[in-house]
Amino acid sequence: MLRSEGNFKNNRQTGEWKFFFGEGIQEQIGNFTNGSFDGEWKWFYKNGKPLRVEEYVKGKRDGIFIEFNEAGDTVAKGTYIDGEMDGEWILRIGDNIETGNYVVGLKEGVWKEYYKNGNLKS
């Protein structure tokens, strides 16, 4: 049963690679450069719906990060810089939504929490 498909150069993964669940259903797709994640990577649920989209540079998350639940709702959205959460993030935790900033992987400044209906929690 096919688990992955892609090319090697100098014994390292290179170019586009696809990974599959045991049933042959696509699990993720993305690019390698010299054996490291590079560029956009996409992960999927077994039903084919998107789970996560993220960007990498030389094996580290760097750029946009978006994660979805199985219903297709965004549960996390933000950016990474050199492998660390950085900048504005929106996180859905249960029925609540949190917004705020990360600086080098740590929460920084004012964070706000909202109810599902969009009203600010006190």
pLDDT reported for residue 22: 84
Q: Look at strands 12-20 and 36-44 and give their pairing.
A: unpaired
Q: By three-state DSSP, how is residue 10 classified? A: coil
* pLDDT, position 33: 98
Whose structure tokens read 């492998």?
83
Q: Three-state SS across the chain? A: CCCEEEEEECCEEEEEEEEECCCCCEEEEEEEECCEEEEEEEEECCCCCEEEEEEEECCEEEEEEEEECCCCCEEEEEEEECCEECEEEEEEECCEEEEEEEECCEEEEEEEEECCCCCECC
Buried b (16+ CB within 10 A) or exposed e, 45-61: beeeeebbbbbbbeeeb
pLDDT at res. 23: 83
CATH number of 4-114: 2.20.110
- Given a cut of 70, the residues of the chain with pLDDT beneath it are none
Q: Domain coordinates of the chain in residue numbers?
A: 4-114
